[in-house]
Structure 1
Amino acid sequence: MTGESAMIPGGGSPSDRTLRAFVLSAILAFVVAGTGSVGALGAQKDRGHVPATTAPLVLPGQTTHSPILILADADFTSSNGVVGGSGTASDPYVIAGWDISASSATGIDIRSTTAHFVVRNVSVHSGASNHLGMFLFEVSNGRIENDTVTDNQGGIWVVSSHSVSVVGNNVSGNRGHGIIANSPDMLVQGNRVVGNEDMGIQLASGWNVTIEDNNVSRNAYGIYSIGSWNDTIRSNRIDSSSTYNVEIDSSTDIVVESNEIGNGTAGIVLFEAKRITMRGNRFTNDSVVWYGSSVDNFATHSISEDNLANGRPIVYYRDCDGRSLDGAPIGELLVANCTHIRASNLSFAEVDGAILMAYVDQASVLSSTVASATLVGIEFLESTNVSVISSAISTNPGADISIRSAQTVRIDANQFTGHMLSASGVQDLLFRGNSASGGGGTFVDVATNVTIEGNALAGYYDGISVQNGRRVVIENNTVMNMDGYGILASTNDTIVRRNRVLNASLDGIVLFNLGNALVSENVVDSARTGIVLDSATSVRVLHNSIRNANTSARDDRGPENSWDDGYPSGGNYWSDYTGVDNCSGPNQDVCGPNPDGIGDTPYAIDGDSRDSYPLMAAPGANTPPHAVFGIGPIVGTLSTVFALSVRPTDAEDSPDVIEVRWDWEGDGVWDTPWTTQKDANHQYEVPGNYTVIVEVRDTGGLTDEASTSIVVDGVAPVTTLYLAGVAGNADWFVSSVTVTLSAVDERSGVGSTYLRMDGGQWLTYAGPFAIDFDGQFLFEFYSTDVAGNAEAIQSRPVRVDREAPIVTAAVAGVHGQNRWFITPVVVTLTATDATSGAGRIEVRTNGGPWLTYAEPVVLADGSYFVEYRAMDIAGNLGATHAIPANVDVDATPPTFTSSGPSGVVTSANVVLRWSAEDNGSGIAGYRVSVDGGPVQPVGNTTQYPATLPDGDHTAVVVAIDQAGNVRSVEIQFRVDTNVFSFSGPYGGAPTVAIVVAVAVAAVLLLLRRR
């Protein structure tokens, strides 16, 4: 006998998927090896999908053509439907305007080509059981556009090709896959892919494939990616798939963005996938589910909160410590590789999965509601120390709670409608105080240290099923109105005690394939068989009440098991026992007026099994009830109304007649009278840690107590913002800044911390983050505690300027020659800074000290190496800049220190002489002009010979320095070479001599006359 199989939210087992990939490979190999027929595709698995009804459609302007087979570039001929083109990128071959029936072969089959081609405005239909619409193999540079492919074995299949586009086609009503993109560098865009019996669009082992703007509806699968990488699925409408709208199987680095996804069995399924990016997708009655075998299948994704499930954000945490969501309006919660997770007072509806956690530690779900989840309500994979408490969960057809490979699990005081619990590979499981109706019951497989107690289950197929484990306790449960079995166990070291199994269509309590078990104090009323031992050994069955069973008991092993507890404890009560009680004693041979309540003859179960001491009445006039607490929330504020509940069970009484009363403070004083109302509300007036005690009482007056702790927190947490970076001036940072928020709450603990920047959207703080861009920002932040107290919003400005200012220099002056300025030079410096603003400018010349620049710098005569730099207000000091070349200034002309001749020159051969100096750029040369004559350059010589006539003369000597400054000197002189001239060479001596001689002669003549 078997229990329910384990549910895998990813859809199917790994072996199923390996088989599917193998079958696909075999199909493609068959196609490639053939001549256009698909062969094995005629044996497609029926997925229960009803395709859209399509009829062959001949579009206006189309002409009937036989199937086309092209096996090389040379086959692009008119006989093969080519109506134009030369096969180049700018002039591709065109196959267009044809109506093709694929009843005899695949409609268009193109292989092993590199020429550019387009298939356009073609209809392919009526494919036989092994004929595709279009098949491209080892093809490049192809484009399939605006074609209609319907009612074939498959639609458009592109295999082992590249650089192929499938655009704007109608691929509908085919019996297999619609479009296969089993090739790299493909574009699948703007197609209508509707009503195909298998996958709408499949990516297989391809990369750099873009699937966008397609309408993919009512296929078995919508878009299916297997073994692919670096693909993009964008802006598609994917809905109403009979299985999954999108499945990403063993693929890596896939981007799924801006799609409309809805009304499938699942929205997006991640199976063994890594590094999947999801953003901007909108789900309607769908969401995300995942499955994998390593942490990388869960904690490497990027799923942003702009993904919306029924209008609410999908929240994804990974690699985190300490996250709390309390009452947040979210569409789905995904958590991977995190610790200390608390989800409380959340509600979900019409999703595939509500809360999915993988590789988490110390995670709890409290007081949350999941309505109508398709695959799983709450799931934990590979996790430790997890709990679900006081929540209401409904799924169809999946599991309300799914646990896989987990340790230390607590499922307490929840309400279920659907498949209550599916757990596998669990150690230390407590399933307590839950109530449920309808669905698949509780299924636990491969588990150790399991306690299932105090639950009330009604209307399931199998109530409680625990298989392939050990050390299991099933007690104080009420299981009623089962369509299958009440309690099944195939675990060693099992205790089934004090349970009530009422109205089971099959067997009440079944133990199979186990050893060492105790079945005691149970009530089984109305079952096909009361208690069944099947391949079970070392089982003790005692003090049970078996009523109204078609067959009270069955045991296929005989004396290896015991059906009573010996004398005088006795065996079990059997309502169909027909013996009498007239005697007593171990051998029931002491007869008289005082019988012992044990039948005088054994109750025969079969030929080698019997109850030697059957009880004449149900054992125990009354047994105490069992109190199991339900509460939510367990932490609150002074305004919280704590909703408490108790789920009592009793072997004799039904829960509705058991009374309860409450002690809110645990002080020994009962605060409420006895009542049969099992739910109660209480609000505390003073903060504190309280112990709540509930006492239950059955109709016989027997009682039991249970207690739980409540934390009432009246003080909001306090959050501190820390900034780490290089501090500059004026509250600026001059480096990237790491922002860290730290909150403390002394009583209930910190729940969540929120922040926003510059009045934007509030975000949940996930950990330190860096501001690595410049600007002025205002951060607002606050925290809530687990109880729900929220602190007042705080704010803090953050100023970041990592860039130094930009400084420029302008040099103004009159340029002379040889890079010299011949006027004083004005150096003007300007600094700009886009963030904090310019602060100060510094300047220095010739390596001297830095001086603060206050006004333009004037450079007089000299040679200058000018350096400058700037600092912004934040304190960023920029690099030192320099004017590219020395600034050489010589604004002073040369100076003449002497010149000549002057006065009278008594020789016609005159030598002009001068001397000059220049302390700036230095003398470059001289020019001479005599008596307004031509200007003669004389180089650097300081004399100029000239032969001049007698008379007055003027010479101009011009000195030019290296900068181009000019100064002139005028030399005036007289040339007198007349020997009789008093200014002549002999100073007038000849003239005097002549005069004297004449005078002497005159005197002598006069004397003679006397």
Structure 2
Amino acid sequence: MNKKIFIAGFFVSILLLVPINSAYSNNDIQIQNNPVIKSNRSNNLYVGGSGPNNYTTIQDAINDASIEDTVFVYSNSSPYNENLEVDKSICIIGEDKITTIIDGCGSGDVIYISAEGVNISGFTIRNGTWVGDSGIYINSKYSTISDNIIFNNHHGIWLEECTYNIITGNLISSNKISGIELSELNKYNTFSNNTITSNKNYGIYMCSIETVNNTIIYNNISYNGDDGIILGGFGNIVDNNIIISNKGQGVRLVKTDNTISSNSFINDGLRGSSSHNTIYNNTVNGKPLVYLEDVSNKVIDYEAGQIILFNCNNIIIENLDLSNTDTGIQIYKTNYCRIRNNNFSDNGLGIILDGGRNNITGNTFSGKGYGISFSEGNINIITGNNIYCKKGGIYGGGISNDNIIIGNNISSSNGSGIVISGHIYFPCNNNIIQSNTIACKHSGISLSSSLYNNVTGNTISNTNYGIFMESWYGPCSNNNIMGNNILNNNYGIFIGPYVNNNIIYHNNFINSSCFDKCNNSWDNGYPSGGNYCDDYDGIDSNDDGIGDTPYPIPGGDNEDRYPLIEPYGMTNLSIYFLGGLFRFTGIIKNICNNTAFNVQWRISFEDGFVLLGKITKGVLPKPLMPDNETTISSSLILGFGRIIITIEVWADNSPKITVTNPGFLFLFFILLR
């Protein structure tokens, strides 16, 4: 805007406060001269007030104005219930931005600008609330929107195919979608010194790839319901803004070649899905935002408010407090990093992981958001973390395979503990979820459209769904659910439609019901057995630890054919050598308090000359009860010489043990040494 217009606005305010000498009274009728607005424009037109020949509507004044005229609008006739169309290069000035109100009455854009070089300042612009409507819609160039209050519209300001416009000094708040939105072909616009706050979704939305070379500078962007700024184009500058407590990201970067510099993020931060941007001199909660790209072999153990790694390798991040930001650490196309012993509190996300062979261990996550999210991440290890986050613990999606999630403690007041969510085109397969302790409101472990995952040895309690399986975006099959303790849940396991060919066995369901609508296996055959359910009321007449009658699974036609009589638990086995004639014998003993299921063994002879019986394998015909033992023997053996005898034994719930002993073989006789 021409500097003279700003000066004129100042003098208008002064003049309105001072009695004007030419005003006089006759029969109680006040007649007021209109202020003279000093401008290089041709004419001044007045709306409202009590001057002679003043207009009663703003649109009538616009219609009668010529190019470069000024329309001055008094506040005493507010609100002006109009939808304005500005199709000529004029200046429209309100007497007072608080009291000079243009109200769109809930239908249509409040102000639509199609002409170049339009200046609008000094108004409250409200109630363009119908879907797609805006407080100000601009389809032009070289216009200036300054010193207005723009609120309660669908969009505050919408720009389409605009260049070289200036949006400055406005308060843009409480709009239903965005404060400012740029759609297509918007270039070289400047947004400065605005306060953009409390809009339902975005502060500034620039998602189109055709929004390029715009400048966002010296704004306060705060408390918006989603991202403060989203950049979908190239060559934009975001500089020296204060960005506070937006519910999404402070700034979200989608494309490359943008500059993010000297911004102050408070309870907010930056998130990107593109590289080759220029990012420097930003702070998060007063601490540096550390941004590294194409860096290797570096340790970050110094003060940081947020850390972002793009295309890096072998970075160590340790012993930091990365709290009260959108994402504590973002790793993008980055491998072989170690993130250990850090604290994450009240972030939207503690860690975003996109890369391979990274190790996340010994960290603590707490507060309002999520703990760890990974997508397109393979062969990562997430272990030994404490995650106490309101929205959820660990989320894996996209193309994420062969990850190990082991030994974490997870609780969530609203969300799920561990979610593996794939797609027919973006699989999440062959992940290991083991020995985690989980207590969450929704589900302990959720598998969605995922294949060949192993869920073993977890303890899941106090959830709505202990284990939840669904198949909305692709098959969810060939998963192994084994050896989990599932206690005090509404559903211990819930299997939804089209989830087939999974195996569920050796789990303990205590005060937790089961539900399966599809076709899955609920046992590992005999003598390995199925699951322990505390409401099973069958008997075990032969004392083999397995019920004599199947346990029906609600929801369909599934059944656990071999329900366990006692809870399944880990145990340990021992081996004793006996020697022998014709056959070598040994003793396997269960030395713990839990039944050993599916006990397998192997006897082998090495060295010497063994003609017969070199290797013998076997499986016990029934589970081995606590403190019980059984004798095993090799097949017929024949040979000569010094030998090494090896016995290996293991069970589904017992680690493998191996014992060796030297001996001497003479024909059919085995002598231990």
TM-score, length-scaled by structure 2: 0.69
Q: Which has the larger radius of gyration?
A: 1
Q: 1:574 to 1:513 in 2, by over 3 A?
A: same
Give the CA deviation at 1:170: 1.9
Write the letter of the residue equivalent to 1:242: G
Equivalent in the alignment of 1:93: 69
Q: Secondary structure at the match of 1:504?
A: coil
1:396-415 → structure 2 map (5 Å cutoff): 396-397=368-369, 399-415=370-386
Structure 1's unaligned 5+ residue stretches are: 1-57, 292-296, 543-564, 585-594, 626-649, 654-701, 706-1010
Equivalent in the alignment of 1:357: 331
Contact 1:377 1:400 in 2 (8 A): yes
Q: 1:258 to 1:652 in 2, by over 3 A?
A: farther
2:106 aligned with 1:126 = no
Equivalent in the alignment of 2:191: 211
Equivalent in the alignment of 2:671: none
Write the letter of the residue equivalent to 1:255: I
- Output the CA distance in 2 between the equivalents of 1:61 and 1:506: 74
- Output the CA distance in 2 between the equivalents of 1:651 and 1:224: 63
Q: 1:417 to 1:125 in 2, by over 3 A?
A: same
Give the CA deviation at 1:245: 1.8
2:269 aligned with 1:320 = no
2:157 aligned with 1:179 = yes
Contact 2:127 2:135 in 1 (8 A): no
1:158-197 → structure 2 map (5 Å cutoff): 158-172=137-151, 174-182=152-160, 183-197=162-176
- Output the CA distance in 2 between the equivalents of 1:414 and 1:624: 28
Contact 2:495 2:518 in 1 (8 A): no
Equivalent in the alignment of 2:59: 68
2:416 aligned with 1:416 = no
- Output the CA distance in 1 between the equivalents of 2:49 and 2:299: 62
Contact 1:363 1:386 in 2 (8 A): yes
Equivalent in the alignment of 2:664: none
Q: 1:69 to 1:378 in 2, by over 3 A?
A: farther
- Output the CA distance in 1 between the equivalents of 2:439 and 2:535: 26
Equivalent in the alignment of 1:309: 284
Give the CA deviation at 1:157: 2.2
- Output the CA distance in 2 between the equivalents of 1:651 and 1:61: 97
Q: Secondary structure at the match of 1:377?
A: strand
In the alignment, which of 486, 490, 504 is matched to residue 505 of structure 1? 490
Contact 1:480 1:486 in 2 (8 A): no
Q: Secondary structure at the match of 2:466?
A: coil
In the alignment, which of 510, 516, 534 is matched to residue 517 of structure 2? 534
- Output the CA distance in 2 between the equivalents of 1:118 and 1:226: 30
1:521-600 → structure 2 map (5 Å cutoff): 521-527=506-512, 529-530=513-514, 532-537=515-520, 539-542=521-524, 565-566=525-526, 568-582=527-541, 584=542, 596-600=544-548
Give the CA deviation at 1:433: 0.8
Contact 2:507 2:531 in 1 (8 A): no
Equivalent in the alignment of 1:485: 466
Count of aligned pairs between the two proteins: 507
Give the CA deviation at 1:231: 0.7
Equivalent in the alignment of 1:717: none
Contact 2:483 2:568 in 1 (8 A): no
Equivalent in the alignment of 1:394: 366
Give the CA deviation at 1:159: 2.6
- Output the CA distance in 1 between the equivalents of 2:188 and 2:104: 31
TM-score, length-scaled by structure 1: 0.47
Contact 1:390 1:412 in 2 (8 A): yes
- Output the CA distance in 1 between the equivalents of 2:563 and 2:430: 32
Contact 2:511 2:534 in 1 (8 A): no
- Output the CA distance in 1 between the equivalents of 2:73 and 2:310: 53
- Output the CA distance in 1 between the equivalents of 2:419 and 2:71: 59
1:647-658 → structure 2 map (5 Å cutoff): none
Equivalent in the alignment of 1:277: 259
Equivalent in the alignment of 1:237: 220
2:416 aligned with 1:440 = yes
Q: Secondary structure at the match of 1:408?
A: coil
Contact 1:104 1:131 in 2 (8 A): no
Equivalent in the alignment of 2:432: 451
- Output the CA distance in 2 between the equivalents of 1:578 and 1:472: 32
Contact 1:499 1:651 in 2 (8 A): no
In the alignment, which of 221, 246, 251 is matched to residue 229 of structure 2? 246
Q: Secondary structure at the match of 1:448?
A: coil
1:13-24 → structure 2 map (5 Å cutoff): none
- Output the CA distance in 2 between the equivalents of 1:170 and 1:460: 43
Give the CA deviation at 1:456: 0.7
Write the letter of the residue equivalent to 1:404: S
Write the letter of the residue equivalent to 2:224: S
Give the CA deviation at 1:152: 3.9
Q: Secondary structure at the match of 1:68?
A: helix
1:841-852 → structure 2 map (5 Å cutoff): none
Write the letter of the residue equivalent to 1:128: C
Contact 1:277 1:302 in 2 (8 A): yes
Write the letter of the residue equivalent to 2:187: W
- Output the CA distance in 2 between the equivalents of 1:104 and 1:308: 44
State the superposition RMSD in angstroms: 3.2
Q: Secondary structure at the match of 1:388?
A: strand
Contact 1:102 1:152 in 2 (8 A): no
- Output the CA distance in 2 between the equivalents of 1:59 and 1:402: 58
- Output the CA distance in 1 between the equivalents of 2:78 and 2:505: 73
In the alignment, which of 288, 306, 309 is matched to residue 270 of structure 2? 288
Q: Deviations over 1:963-983 (max 9, x none)?
A: xxxxxxxxxxxxxxxxxxxxx
Contact 2:189 2:215 in 1 (8 A): yes
Q: 1:224 to 1:601 in 2, by over 3 A?
A: closer
Give the CA deviation at 1:69: 6.1
* Structure with the larger strand share: 1
Contact 2:410 2:439 in 1 (8 A): yes
Write the letter of the residue equivalent to 2:450: G
Q: Secondary structure at the match of 2:337?
A: strand
Q: 1:60 to 1:266 in 2, by over 3 A?
A: farther
Structure 2's unaligned 5+ residue stretches are: 1-46, 423-427, 574-591, 596-653, 658-673
Equivalent in the alignment of 1:1006: none
Give the CA deviation at 1:514: 4.3
Q: 1:60 to 1:486 in 2, by over 3 A?
A: farther
Equivalent in the alignment of 1:33: none
Give the CA deviation at 1:467: 2.3
- Output the CA distance in 1 between the equivalents of 2:123 and 2:533: 75
- Output the CA distance in 1 between the equivalents of 2:291 and 2:248: 18
- Output the CA distance in 1 between the equivalents of 2:478 and 2:277: 42
Q: 1:189 to 1:484 in 2, by over 3 A?
A: same
Write the letter of the residue equivalent to 1:233: I
- Output the CA distance in 1 between the equivalents of 2:553 and 2:477: 23
- Output the CA distance in 2 between the equivalents of 1:260 and 1:59: 38
Q: 1:196 to 1:541 in 2, by over 3 A?
A: same
Q: 1:162 to 1:458 in 2, by over 3 A?
A: same
Q: Secondary structure at the match of 2:213?
A: coil
